[in-house]
Structure 1
Amino acid sequence: MTDPAEEKFETDIVESLVRDQKYIQRANQDYDKELCLDADMLFDFIRSTQSEEWQKLKARHGDDRVKDKFLNRLTRVLQKQGTLDVLRKGVKDTGCHFDLIYFKPETALNEAHQKKYRNNRFSVIRQLHYSRKNPNKSIDLCLFINGIPIITSELKDTLNGQDVDNAIKQYRTNRDPAEPLLQFGRCFGHFAVDPHLVYMTTKLQDESTVFLPFNRGYQNGAGNPPMYDDYDTSYLWQEIWSKDLLLDIIQNFLQIVDKRDEQGNVSRQLIFPRYHQLGAVNLLVENTRINGVGRKYLIQHSAGSGKSNSIAWLCNKLAGLHDENNENIFDSIIVITDRRVLDEQLRNTIMAHEQVRGTVEAIDRDKSKRLAEAIEAGKKIIIVTLQTFPFAIELFHKTPGKRFAVVIDEAHSSQTGNTARDVRKVLVTEDTVEYEDEQVRDVEDTINEKMDEITTDLKLQPKNISFYAFTATPKNKTMEMFGEEQADDFRTLPPVFDEAGNRGRLHHGCTAELHHIHHLF
């Protein structure tokens, strides 16, 4: 029996989802434990968005058998391919194709797509009795999209002496990962929640389950800022579980990867963005959408903050970014890594996030020819070393009609004089002054130097290039370079757009999670 305090916590969350996010509250009897689906929600969605295709399937299976046959087909595909792949690609049944989700369109120009997107059914079931083997067991909350479960949550309320640690223990000791609902790949995340803290995992493994904090950070430390008129963790159901952000996470952030441990064993993992990564990437993208091309952004990351994934997510979202006329904002995204040999982790991470085959090109040999061909062919994401990048300079100037996003990985690392000088070249126009010779220069110093020239006369700022520089330890000069130019010629330090506590993860035995984002308006 649920404790009264925990029951109120659960009620408040569900009421918020239903009232503010327009979720549909469903009941236990609506859930099929064997199929792991809410079939009525699924068929409501299909009939409202793909009625003609459904009529074709009915003609092939017969009215009395079509639902059972389709459900059995869908269940087999979900078990084999996982929920993420099925939601992104849809499912086929005897020559008929069905989409099981519609993501938010980039623009409002396609009314038919807009209508289908609005027909997504988000629903929630309280105290879900999910197990056929143990019918008395229930999970506090389960979220569904179009009848397919995507998130579970165990709730605890500190008023009854329990907290998030008890919820974690419950997942580890009392939730069998062999259950269809809890098998890896069926749900995207399992959240342990109390009024003050959130932890989550994407893979239940009994006592070995690893839960990571999913908190906002407070006063440069762990936890969440106190909310005096709401729960400290209300951001979870008000922001993260909101319809549009969940759709965004499913479409653009979630990624299944193969991880190899020190012994060489390979296991599948589902990457779910941390709170600070989600906010950082989306903030950069939204600022770019609003302000257009020709801006400079500085992203400060810390060790263990998941920089490679953040860069990959940013690149993929920028590559698909459209303006209000449904035109691509950027023709190509150029990723510069400061190693002479392409950073294998960064390259593999970006390519792992590639959803449309052939959109990512890595250049490490035949530099000038391959880079020129990639840019001229309009490859969406091009990964180069710092030594390869100079070959793009002339092309940038010869193609003023094309627009580029330049993502710089680790802007502070040391490089030789020629290489550093090449990076600076793209930060100015053809009217650049002569460059002095150097033996060894810090890339951050060289970038700062040329940005100083750029911001002295904003006419020199390339209008067809936006810069996104990732650095762990920005120097004061770097902060100044990304500052805001005021009318009185006084440059202010850049505003901090997004920040998670620098010591937050240290308190949990992990390295810090942190992103500072600075933007030159």
Structure 2
Amino acid sequence: MVWGRVERDEVERPFVEQLKAMGWEHVRGADLADDERASNSEVLLSKRLTAAVRRINRLPGTGVAWMMQGDAERAVDDLRRVARSVAAQSLLRANGDATALLLHGTSMVGPRDLDFLVQYVDWEWEGLGDEEILRRNQFLVVDQFRVRKADGKDAVLDLVLFVNGIPVVVVECKSPERKDAIGDAIRDLRDYAGEPLEEYGTRFAGVTGGVPELFAPAQLLIAASGKTAALGTISSEEEHYAVWRSVEPDYAKESALRADLEAARVLRGDAELTPQHKLIAAVLRPRNLLNIIRHYVFELPVKTKEGEPPVTVKAVCRHQQFRAVEKIVRKLRTGRKRGESGAEDDERGGVIWHTQGSGKSLTMSFLARRLHMSRDPELNRFTLLVVTDRKQLQQQLSAAVRVSGSTIRVAASQTDVEGMLQRAGKPGGRAVIFAMIQKYLGRVPGFVGETAGDDREIVEEFEQARERVAAGEDPEDVADPTPDEATTEAVRRRFTECSTSPSVLVLVDEAHRSHTSVLHACLRDAVPNAARIGFTGTPIMKGKLTDTGRIFGLEPGNTFLDSYRMDEAEKDKVVVPVRYEGRAGNAEIKAKEGMDRKFKDLIATVPEEDQGKTRKATKPTSRDVAESFPIIREKAVDMLAHYVRGPLTGGFKAQVAAVSRRAAVYYRDALRDARAELLARVRGFDPDELRHKKPEEYTQDEILLLRAWQYQEVLRRMDFVPVISEGNERKSGRWREWTDEKSQQEHVERFLEPFPELPPDNPWVGEHPQEVDPLPGGAVGLNPWSNTVGDAPVEKPPIAFLIVKSMLLTGFDAPIEQVLYLDRPIQDAELLQAIARVNRPARLKREGRVVDYYGVLNNLAVTLAAYRGDPPVLDGLRSLSSEVPGMRGAAQQLRRFLKRLGAGGLDGPGRMGRTMLALADPDDRAEYDRLLGEFLDALERVLPHEAALALVPHARRWTELQQRIRRHYRDEPGGSFSMRGYGRKVRALIAEHLELPEITQVIAPVSILDPDFDEIVGRIPDLRESAAEQVQALRYHLQERIEHDDRPVYRELSEDLQQVLDEFAGRWEDIKRELGPLIDRARRAEAADPGLGGLTPIERKLYAKLSDQLTEHPAFPVPDRVFLRALTGDLSSLISDQVSSASWSGQETSLDDLQVRIWDLLRKKGLKPHQGGLRPLTELANSLAGYAQQHAAAFRAERQ
């Protein structure tokens, strides 16, 4: 389908109009003056940039411009050289070099032989009005911007945004009617950048590397569809592009933005205010664009695989991060300092409440960069003190903030902190300091040391807490006790005054906790004039809000400085929804009764006078039951079965939270036992018994065995690893492998890596070799302490399960983790933090799961008693069963949609085809795709629940219809159909159906050149469907040929096809009769000329290219076939020699040289135009040189 006009009218034009309303200049690409740049292959608008460099750079003090034209041109050459370096190094590295010049300037000798940093952009925008910012820098948008590629063809970019002639933003526009408009735009952007997404490869036939030079200085990429838009960078994968939903801080409400857009006539009437409008208003407003480029874009190292260096990516802020940081900056500027205008305390602080998983670490990084790279001396002198309460969290935050470019200092002791703070506000004192202040304070109520936390008797604490609440105590005080005044006063004296500078900003992480009041007391003495910002992602209990406001400050109405709720994060796909399911059975009750009976038998042998003391000391506790190996083993069997049926099929991993460190080690052995037993069952499993059984009729055990058989290679190799803190056993060395910090880091890194390879979606394809020997060490019995750690294998097994007690339940960022198996008591804030471990997004991850084996989620009113039924808290944790009505509702919506089109069911002769034809309107197809996607997403979340299995037949038929639609209308390139966007559980149940011969053999091939095309189309019983298939196939064939070859015969055929459709509209028998000859003509155009015998394939293509161009151009005579063949051979030899030479680079210089040589050859062979002088010959030479570059590999093969 051709979308060009729709995209220009509905996406590009409104985009440009909104930019113009904000002061951007607009020039159409076709109207761009020739002198704006040196050539069409140039990406810098050098004329504008040279003028801007001369205007911006002035002598300090006098403000006099000092640069001559030659000086400015040398500065432009520095940036041009870096942009062109992309030919010799990676795009990311070239972009990093260009960004450094953009932000910091280039060094140059100026007047009096002094060194100057020449700036390309005037970054002095803070505090200036919009008109002044537009006067200092030029903001230009060019639509349909052409760049000559290395192959001689032009790449046409929808929108390129220039600041002073430097391309800093590239926008790709796609019709909102496309099925995946934003995805298509992102993939095209990556193709243009020469960095195609690996899964898709390059989508443009014949494209050689795109135009990476344009993207070397580009800072932001935007995919737009009119209805929405998403922001990314040159390295962003599809899932990392983010929609921008905020209008703050520039507008208090969306209605204010709407009023501005209506005044500028960008919005009219009841037109919707879309995310595209918001992104343009927030990101591309000139002052904000400068701010974001300077402070909110940086390179970020990302660990991908153990033993390999991190991969660098370029990150840009999301809307909630930009909004929060700008609010902090505004508060630092406008809030009163302590003692200023009568302020008793500092009023520059506040609370940032962003739900867990929404990027808090990066928000702190952006804040550090925003302050320390600011040109405002009031901001860039701040010392930031980041206070955390966990070592692992401190490491995570310090690693994230380090990329901000600020100086990082990590305090190891109280003395360190005090020494670092004494430098605050002084030269050299600007830094980001990380400190675990509570670590230096000893035991304080509300403070829990990391090691102590893992040794706590959590069962006893849990039961005592519930008893206290039942007895009438305030649940908030039970869950989070506030240190009394005496304790606070005693602790605060341990810190001395370090700095009275107001240029200290304290950032307190996990600011929801009561112990924050103790930190506040300490810091009030150490840095009395500091501003304070509290960060938290855990809901703050209502009763604690007063203390929080006293420490950090609240906004009018007792609100936070910035909030980003769970429902917002789910909508933005920053997190995935979390659903829980209870699997706590009566095994614990039976085990407890059995232990009680043994206890009574045992105590009966003790003298009566000693029974009281003995009973108190030895009576079995709930922890004893939870640590019972038979109980753990029973749960492990169920856990593994749940994991194999669900998360494993998506390639995801799991975490187990056990009641104690001992139980965590037990779980490792129990899971290994369960795995060995399951693989033993797989060896006796015959999958052919299920081959012809419908998936919806499978039992849960059959699903388990089928998935275990399908994934047996992964299952056999996976490992289950405890990560626990060191305790009293440290002297004996027991559990050292699980407590050693270095080993833990290595285990966590391996856990974060994806599985090496997953089997195909269809379980019946691929090979599944049977296991020969039982898993070594699989069954370990009841004595896990006897295990010895042998030599490490050559290839370390993938870690599928991490088993913990308390470690990694907070602050652990693992997108690959989908399920948390909970077998320990947990409540209130700790529970909310733990469940967030599974809410990190990953590709094809539709939801996170919490599976409760302890029963803590049976009654959320009790488990979350401290939050007093706060709806936002409870909304973030819903049961799996709550998804079933939504899934059924999605199916019902799809049924109603098809019924509205007049297509009820899809079963029965011809119904599938008639429904396909009923979806001729692109809007209807887009809506069908949307509804089907929502249904299959809901199905994925519920599977393998029985309620979901019942809807699998509908999923198969509706997906088959989508496959037919894709092939018939060719909406996707090549008429392709892929289930890549659907979850693996769904794909596993429908993949085989879509590959059945009775399905594939009734779908016509995409191409009319396919030898089976006529036969398959002839078997379609419905005349209208058969003719429609021929129309779509011929139209697609001609569009593809016109796009790539543009021979006259294809344009003539396209016109004839349209004439037939117009003349015989709706008369399908007549249309079918007329189509036959047209298809025959199209096939003959592809057939080889008998007179071309002996020519190689590339020579035949060159012959056709040359023949068409000479025939079509009026300046040339109709070519003689003998002459044409000889000329083709000479041209092919020349081209092959040139592109095979060592000097051939494929760049502009080589291409120019080839054009000259072809021109000379054409003249020597006597090819002379009848009119137009030599210009037609030059045009032909240029065209043939571009064709040669496009097919350079084929011409080089001629010399091999």
Distance (whole Å) between structure 2 residues aligned to residue 11 and residue 292 of structure 1: 45
In structure 1, the partner of 2:118 is: 98
Per-residue deviation, 1:202: 1.5
User: Residue 160 of structure 2 contacts residue 170 of structure 2 at CA under 8 Å; is this kept in 1?
Assistant: yes
Q: Does 1:302 align with 2:302?
A: no
User: Residue 332 of structure 1 contacts residue 375 of structure 1 at CA under 8 Å; is this kept in 2?
Assistant: no
Q: Does 1:372 align with 2:419?
A: yes
* Secondary structure class of the residue paired with 1:41: helix
In structure 2, the partner of 1:255 is: 298
Letter in 1 for 2:167: P
Distance (whole Å) between structure 1 residues aligned to residue 520 and residue 399 of structure 2: 27
In structure 1, the partner of 2:570 is: 503
Distance (whole Å) between structure 1 residues aligned to residue 373 and residue 74 of structure 2: 36
User: Residue 53 of structure 2 contacts residue 120 of structure 2 at CA under 8 Å; is this kept in 1?
Assistant: yes
In structure 2, the partner of 1:176 is: 194
Distance (whole Å) between structure 2 residues aligned to residue 290 and residue 7 of structure 1: 44
Q: How does 1:340-419 map to 2 (within 5 A)?
A: 340=391, 343-354=394-405, 359-365=407-413, 367-369=414-416, 371-376=418-423, 378=425, 379-380=429-430, 381-387=432-438, 397=497, 399-400=499-500, 402-412=502-512
In structure 1, the partner of 2:319 is: 275
Per-residue deviation, 1:426: 3.2
Between 1 and 2, higher relative CO (CA 8 Å, sep ≥ 6) is seen in 1
Distance (whole Å) between structure 2 residues aligned to residue 70 and residue 424 of structure 1: 51
Distance (whole Å) between structure 2 residues aligned to residue 120 and residue 10 of structure 1: 23
Match for residue 291 of structure 1 among 311, 335, 338: 335
Higher CA-based Rg: 2
Letter in 2 for 1:120: N
Change (3 A) 1:255 1:410: same
Deviation per residue, 1:316-361 (Å, 9 max, x gap): 43457798xx646975321112124772221122222125xxx443
In structure 1, the partner of 2:521 is: 425
Match for residue 242 of structure 1 among 285, 290, 293: 285
Letter in 2 for 1:197: T
Distance (whole Å) between structure 2 residues aligned to residue 318 and residue 3 of structure 1: 44
Unaligned runs of 5+ in 2: 86-93, 110-114, 196-208, 248-253, 259-269, 338-345, 442-490, 577-814, 816-838, 842-871, 873-1200
Match for residue 222 of structure 2 among 187, 191, 198: 191
More divergent stretch after superposition (22-31 vs 9-18): 22-31
Change (3 A) 1:410 1:268: same
Deviation per residue, 1:395-416 (Å, 9 max, x gap): 774644545321012235798x
Letter in 2 for 1:502: A
Q: Pick the structure with more helix per residue.
A: 2
Distance (whole Å) between structure 2 residues aligned to residue 321 and residue 88 of structure 1: 11
Distance (whole Å) between structure 2 residues aligned to residue 421 and residue 21 of structure 1: 48
Change (3 A) 1:174 1:405: closer
In structure 2, the partner of 1:41 is: 48
Change (3 A) 1:337 1:44: same
Per-residue deviation, 1:127: 1.1
In structure 2, the partner of 1:457 is: none
Unaligned runs of 5+ in 1: 219-224, 431-461, 486-490, 517-521
Distance (whole Å) between structure 2 residues aligned to residue 270 and residue 39 of structure 1: 26
Deviation per residue, 1:462-513 (Å, 9 max, x gap): 972322111111322344444599xxxxx95425745461312448868479
Per-residue deviation, 1:125: 1.0
In structure 2, the partner of 1:82 is: 97
TM-score, with structure 1 as normaliser: 0.73
In structure 1, the partner of 2:452 is: none
Per-residue deviation, 1:51: 6.7
In structure 2, the partner of 1:213 is: 242
User: Residue 159 of structure 2 contacts residue 172 of structure 2 at CA under 8 Å; is this kept in 1?
Assistant: yes
Change (3 A) 1:158 1:67: same
Letter in 1 for 2:8: E
Deviation per residue, 1:24-65 (Å, 9 max, x gap): 53635545554421111101201222377986665xxxx6xx
Q: How does 1:8-27 map to 2 (within 5 A)?
A: 8=9, 9-25=11-27, 27=29
Distance (whole Å) between structure 1 residues aligned to residue 525 and residue 65 of structure 2: 57
User: Residue 357 of structure 2 contacts residue 575 of structure 2 at CA under 8 Å; is this kept in 1?
Assistant: no
Distance (whole Å) between structure 1 residues aligned to residue 419 and residue 492 of structure 2: 7
Per-residue deviation, 1:13: 1.6
Distance (whole Å) between structure 2 residues aligned to residue 352 and residue 103 of structure 1: 21
User: Residue 23 of structure 2 contacts residue 134 of structure 2 at CA under 8 Å; is this kept in 1?
Assistant: no
Change (3 A) 1:322 1:169: closer
User: Residue 25 of structure 2 contacts residue 140 of structure 2 at CA under 8 Å; is this kept in 1?
Assistant: yes
What is the Cα-based RMSD across aligned positions, in Å? 4.1
User: Residue 155 of structure 1 contacts residue 167 of structure 1 at CA under 8 Å; is this kept in 2?
Assistant: yes
* Secondary structure class of the residue paired with 1:129: strand
Letter in 2 for 1:152: V
Change (3 A) 1:101 1:463: same
Deviation per residue, 1:277-328 (Å, 9 max, x gap): 11111112112322233134111223331111101222343457798xx646
Change (3 A) 1:161 1:372: closer
Distance (whole Å) between structure 1 residues aligned to residue 439 and residue 179 of structure 2: 59
Letter in 2 for 1:236: L
* Secondary structure class of the residue paired with 2:358: coil
Distance (whole Å) between structure 2 residues aligned to residue 361 and residue 285 of structure 1: 22
In structure 2, the partner of 1:450 is: none
Distance (whole Å) between structure 2 residues aligned to residue 117 and residue 160 of structure 1: 36
Deviation per residue, 1:352-394 (Å, 9 max, x gap): 2125xxx4432125x4155324423532232212246779977
User: Residue 191 of structure 1 contacts residue 200 of structure 1 at CA under 8 Å; is this kept in 2?
Assistant: yes
Distance (whole Å) between structure 2 residues aligned to residue 230 and residue 313 of structure 1: 32
Q: Does 1:466 align with 2:510?
A: no
Per-residue deviation, 1:270: 0.9
Deviation per residue, 1:250-271 (Å, 9 max, x gap): 2212111332212424322111
Change (3 A) 1:471 1:155: same
In structure 2, the partner of 1:139 is: 157
* Aligned length, in residue pairs: 450
Deviation per residue, 1:154-206 (Å, 9 max, x gap): 1123257773233234335566334444676531222111122222331358x
* Secondary structure class of the residue paired with 2:183: helix
Distance (whole Å) between structure 1 residues aligned to residue 294 and residue 380 of structure 2: 19
Change (3 A) 1:472 1:122: same
Identity value in percent: 19
Change (3 A) 1:82 1:352: same
Change (3 A) 1:147 1:229: same
Distance (whole Å) between structure 1 residues aligned to residue 560 and residue 124 of structure 2: 30
Letter in 1 for 2:367: L
In structure 1, the partner of 2:390 is: 339
Q: Does 1:149 align with 2:170?
A: no
